[in-house]
Amino acid sequence: MQNACDTVKAYFDALIARDAETLIAMMLPVAHYVKIGTDADEVIEGRDGIAAYYQSHIASTEDFSITVINLDVQERDSVAWFYTRQMWKLKWQGEEEEFEMRMTGVLEKIDQTWKFAQIHASIGVPKS
C-alpha cells in the first residue's frame, strides 16, 4: 500500500508519462470531487468530467518535465493534504511553455488506497 506522499508523487509521474488511465484511476469518483486548473474554464465538479479532462490533458501535452521546488504531504488517518511548488516545462497545444506551478490538494483513503478528492492549481506570476 502506498502512503499519501507516494500517491502524490505517482500523480506527477503519470502526468509526465502521459498516462491518462492511471490519472483517472487516482481520482475519487464521487460527487464532492473538485479539480480547479489554471485556465478560466478548467473546473471539474463531481465524477462525471474526470475521464474526459485527463484524456484531453494528456492529448494536448508533450515533452513534459517537472522539477520539484517544494513538496509537503501531511497524512492523518483517512485524510491527507499536499502543497507543492514546481517548475513545469512542456509543449501545451503545440506551444512550448515554462512556468512555476503551485498546487494544493486533498486525498481520501478508500479501501487502503489514497485517491484525490480535490486538486487546485495556479501559476506563479513573474515578479516585474
| Cell numbers standing for residue 81 | 493534504
Closest CA to 71 of 47, 41, 48, 105: 105
Residue 61 is predicted with a pLDDT of: 87
Expressed in percent and rounded to 5, the helix, strand and coil fractions of the chain are: 25, 50, 25
Q: How many CA atoms lie within 13 A of 78 on its CB side?
A: 5
Residue 127 is predicted with a pLDDT of: 65
Residue 39 is predicted with a pLDDT of: 87
**pLDDT higher at 125 or 9:** 9
Residue 93 is predicted with a pLDDT of: 77
Give the confidence band of 124 by pLDDT, cuts at 50, 70, 90: confident
**pLDDT higher at 92 or 120:** 120
Domain boundaries 4-123, corresponding CATH code: 3.10.450.50
Closest CA to 38 of 61, 9, 10: 61
Q: Enter the pTM of the model.
A: 0.93
